[in-house]
Structures are given as C-alpha cells and as structure tokens.
Amino acid sequence: MDRPTDPLVAVLATICTALGASGAALLRVRGDRLVPVAAYGATEGLPLDAPALGEPAHAPQRGTRYPLAFGGRVEGLLLVAGVSPAGRAGRRAALVPLLDLLALALRHVRSAEEREGVLATLRESQARLLEANSRLQAAVDEQATTLLQVIQQERLRALGEMASGIAHDFNNALSPVLGFTELLLADRSGFGQHPKVRRHLELVRAGAQDAAGIVRRLREFYRRRASDDVSQAVEVGPLLRQVVTLTQPEWREQALAAGRAIRVEVDLPAGTAVTGNAEDLRQALANLILNAVDAMPAGGTITLLARPSERHVTLSVADTGTGMTEEVRRRCLEPFFTTKGQRGGGLGLSMVYGIVRRHGGELHVETATGQGTTISLRLQIALHQPGDGDEAGETEAL
C-alpha cells in the first residue's frame, strides 16, 4: 500500500458500514496511473491495478467506482466491493461529504509530494550551485596563486638583474684595490715591507678578498646558463648521500656540541637521475640542509626526499623547526634578506634559487610558524636513467 494511514482506513470503514459493503479501496492518481493508498475489509475482488481514469478497461470491472475530485481535478478513485442491495439503493448524496473528505486527503498527499519534489529539485540545484561555486573558487585560488608566483618570479628576476649589475660595477671598482695591494705586498724592498704597513695591507687584502667573495656569490644569484655549463645525468641517491656526508660536521658534531640532537632521514629512490650539474646541485642541497639546522635551535629531524614523476624529479628538504611567517616566506629568496642577524649574509636561498633557475627548474617553499619548513626543487628528469640493475629504493636514518 502507498502511504497507508489510519484516518483513511477509518473513513473507508464508515463508507463500508453505510453501504453494507464487504470492503473498499482507495486509489489515487500518480502521474498517469492509479495506485493504491488504503484499503479496508475484503478487497480481493477489486481491481487495485485499475487503469488511469479515462483509459479503457481490458477486463470486466468489479465493484462500484466513485471518482474523487477536488477543485475540478480528479485526485483518485474509490472502489467498493460487495455493496448490499440496501446500500446500492441509497442515494449518492449521503456519501458526498465522505467522498469530498477522501478527495481532500488525496489532494494533501499530492501537494506534499509536489512540495517534496520541489524541495528535492531545489536541494539538487543548490548542490550543483555549491559544486560550481567550489570549482569557481578553486579556479580563482589557483589563478591567484599563479599570479602571485609570476609576480614573485618577476620581482626576483628584476632584483637579480639589478644585483648582477651592481656586482659587476662593484667588482670593477674593487679590482684596483686588490691589485695594488698585491703589488705592494709583493714589493720586497719597498714601502710594503714595513711591519705595521704590511700588517695593514694584509688586512686590506683580506677585506677585499671577502668583498670579492660576496660579489661572486651575488653574481651567482642571476647568472644565466652559459653554453659551456656541464649538464649530465646526476644520480639522486649518491647525490643525497654526498650532501649528507659533507654537511655532517654542522648537523651532527657542531649541533651536539651546542646541546642539540639533530636526526637526518634520507629517502633514497631506486635508479633515479636528474639532468644538471652535480657540483651546483650539491651546493644547493647543502645550503638547504644548513638552513634547516639553523631553523631548529632545539634540535629535530631533517628529511630529504626524492619523488620522481614522468618528466620531473622533486627533491625536498624538510625540517621540524620554527618555520616562517608569511612575510618571511614571501621574501626569503631575495638576496641579502636574512632573519639570522649577524650570522647570515642573506645569499643562501637566493643562490639556491639561482641554481634551480639555471637548471630550468622550480623552487617551492611550504612553511608555517611552529610547523617547520619544506623546500622543494623540481628538476628535469634525465632522459637516460640508471640501469634496472641498480639497488631498490630505501630509507636511511642517520
């Protein structure tokens, strides 16, 4: 039965009593069919699968049929079985109030279904709208992120060109200072042999050499890829092992001497290589490890990961240190920007950025205050990978 309710059964019982009938069934219009709603008494002989109103019957119809209409619209049909002769002789007018009641009840059922259908349609439309809004917001966020990256890349490019030009001019001005100082120190019989003067000249030379070193590092920030730069397949596994070994004095011995315990974990990929210059890549990864050491004043864990894809390999250096604020994250690749005070020159990450750019790669920084930092280098995978006989990937903890 469709939506059986006790009040409807009670009305059917009243009708059966009034007509002396053995049973009654209430059907309502749903679409173009009639479906049962409620029944009372013996209804075995009633055609509960009756066709819709207006359709021809394909079998002899049993029982008495009473169409139920409300507001000029047929809402259903009442079938009554076994009406007694006395009931059959009764006047239809006596049933009008009950028939109207049944028609009103069916109208409420239809209205409720229509409302539910409208609500379902609205909910579906709302869900589609929310999904469309979500996709739109994701597209807007992606566009905003891309725009910020483009702005940052252009800003760093402009800074790099400016720094390179300044470094070139400064180097030209520095060359005579260093050159004439060397000449004075090389003169064994002249002015440069006076002990006090020689000591001062050596200080001048040391300062000039330090300045020349800064100029070299500054020029590395935006040095374009030269035609004679060596580019070859660099195996990632050995590269990571070498970098960890080279930086071990800082992250292990010096850290332990300062009361900090630092653990280094390396996820070594199986037979993966990138295209690039091994020396530059070692320098970049070493800088990232040393930055991670500085970011963990209470100790922690440094994790080196390598994740190959179809065309790229992503090398990541993650730490469990203090992390960066959003302002620091936006500026961390700028030359001479540092949060280390006198301990830092602000060229470490900018040099890493320059190396990655010369390799045609991308650098991404993920960080949050108090949640550590992950810096990822996305590099081109080598066309010719190491042979299949290489050892399988493994994870090392040092």
Residue where a domain terminates, one of 192, 221, 250: 221
Residue the block writes with tokens 């028609």: 103
Candidates 352, 356, 379, 348; CA nearest to 235 is 379
Enumerate the β-bridge partners of residue 30: 33
Q: Which residues pair with residue 29 across a beta bridge?
A: 34
- Residue 322: the pLDDT is 93
Would you say residue 134 lies in a domain? no
Beta-carbon contacts of 69 under 8 Å, excluding residues fewer than 6 positions away, are 75, 103
Kindly state whether residues 288 and 392 are assigned to the same domain: yes
Average per-residue pLDDT for the chain: 81
Are residues 308 and 267 in contact, defined by beta-carbon separation less than 8 angstroms? no
80-89, 177-186, 249-258: least confidently modelled range: 80-89
Same domain (yes/no): 248, 191: no
Distance CA 71, CA 57 (A): 26
Q: Is residue 203 domain-shared with residue 237, that is, in the same domain?
A: no
- Range from 138-142, 191-195, 284-288, 369-373 carrying the lowest mean pLDDT: 191-195
**Which amino acid is present at 326?**
E
Lowest mean pLDDT among 65-69, 155-159, 369-373: 155-159
Mean pLDDT within 324-336: 83
pLDDT at 289 over 90: yes
Residue 256 covered by a domain:
yes
Question: Mean of the pLDDT values across residues 342-366?
Answer: 81
Q: Beta strands 73-81 and 23-30: pairing type?
A: antiparallel
Written as six digits, the tokens of 289 are: 């490890």
Give dist(CA 199, CA 290) in Å, integer. 34
Q: How does pLDDT run across 259-287, given as a tens digit for each residue?
A: 999 999 998 777 789 999 888 898 899 99
Same structural domain, 236 and 384: yes
Please report the pLDDT score of residue 389 as a whole number.
45
Whether 20 and 28 have beta carbons less than 8 Å apart is answered as no
pLDDT at 64 over 80: yes
272, 376: one domain: yes
Indicate whether 5 pLDDT > 60: no
Q: Write out the two tokens for 18.
A: 């009034």
Pair of tokens at residue 294:
């500085």
The pLDDT value recorded for residue 1 is: 44
SS3 content of the chain, % helix, strand, coil (to 5): 50, 20, 30
**Contacts (Cβ under 8 Å, ≥6 apart) of 283:** 351, 355
Cβ contacts of residue 84 below 8 Å, gap of 6+?
19, 20, 21
pLDDT number for residue 65: 85
Is 326 within a domain?
yes
Q: What would the pLDDT profile of 137-149 be if each residue is shown by its tens digit?
A: 999 988 887 887 7
182 close to 201: Cβ distance less than 8 angstroms: no
Select the more confidently predicted residue: 387 or 28.
28
CA distance 151 to 165: 21
Confidence of residue 54 (pLDDT cuts 50, 70, 90): low
**pLDDT for 362 beyond 80:** yes
What are the structure tokens assigned to 20, written together?
A: 């002396």
In a domain, 289, yes or no: yes
**3-class SS letters over 25-37:** EEEEEECCEEEEE
Q: Is residue 251 part of a domain?
A: yes
Q: What's 186's domain CATH number?
A: 1.10.287
pLDDT of 225: 57
* Average pLDDT of span 280-302: 92
Whether residue 29 has pLDDT greater than 50: yes
Judge whether 338 lies within some domain.
yes
Whether 245 is in a domain gets the answer yes
- Answer yes or no: are the C-beta atoms of 37 and 1 closer than 8 Å: yes
61: pLDDT strictly greater than 70: no
- Any idea what the CATH number is for the domain that residue 14 is in? 3.30.450.40
Same domain, 208 and 309: no
Same domain, yes or no: 244 and 362: yes
Res. 56: pLDDT tops 60 = no
> Apex CA 349: angle with CA 345 and CA 355, to 5°?
120
DSSP state of 249: I
Contacts 24+ apart (CB under 8 A), 29-36: 29/53, 29/74, 29/75, 29/76, 29/106, 29/110, 30/2, 34/76, 34/77, 35/2, 36/1, 36/2
- Region 202-222: mean pLDDT is 75
As to burial, measured by CB atoms within 10 angstroms (0-12 exposed, 13-18 middle, 19+ buried), residue 146 is exposed
> Per-residue pLDDT for 359 more than 50?
yes
Q: Answer with the one of 221, 248, 269 that is the final residue of a domain.
A: 221
C-alpha to C-alpha distance for 91 and 73, rounded to whole angstroms? 23
* Cβ atoms < 10 Å from Cβ of 179: 11
359: number of Cβ within 10 Å: 23
Range(s) of the domain holding residue 11: 6-90
* CB-count exposure of residue 40 (10 Å: 0-12, 13-18, 19+): buried
pLDDT digit string, tens, across residues 161-174: 777 777 778 788 88
Structurally, the chain folds into a number of domains equal to 3
Q: What is the pLDDT, as a whole number, of residue 264?
A: 94
Which of 43-52, 241-250, 378-387 shows the lowest per-residue confidence on average (mean pLDDT)? 43-52
The model's confidence at residue 372, banded by pLDDT at 50, 70 and 90, is: very high
Together in a domain, 161 and 284: no
Q: Which of 188-202, 250-264, 352-366 has the lowest mean pLDDT?
A: 188-202
3-class state of residue 273 by DSSP: strand
Q: Are residues 217 and 249 in the same domain?
A: no
Q: Are residues 190 and 65 in the same domain?
A: no
Query: Is there a domain that residue 126 lies in?
Result: no
Say if residue 386's pLDDT is above 70.
Answer: no
**What SS3 state is found at 373?**
strand
Summarize the confidence of residues 217-241 as an average pLDDT: 72
Average pLDDT over residues 199-211: 82
Last residue of a domain, one of 90, 115, 139: 90
pLDDT of residue 51: 56
Same domain membership, residue 352 and residue 286: yes
- What is the rounded average pLDDT of the residues 29-49? 83
Q: Report which of residues 32 and 190 the model is more confident about.
A: 32
3 falls in which pLDDT band (50, 70, 90)? very low
Q: In angstroms, rounded to a whole number, what is the distance separating the alpha carbons of residues 28 and 68?
A: 9
User: Same domain, yes or no, for 380 and 271?
Assistant: yes
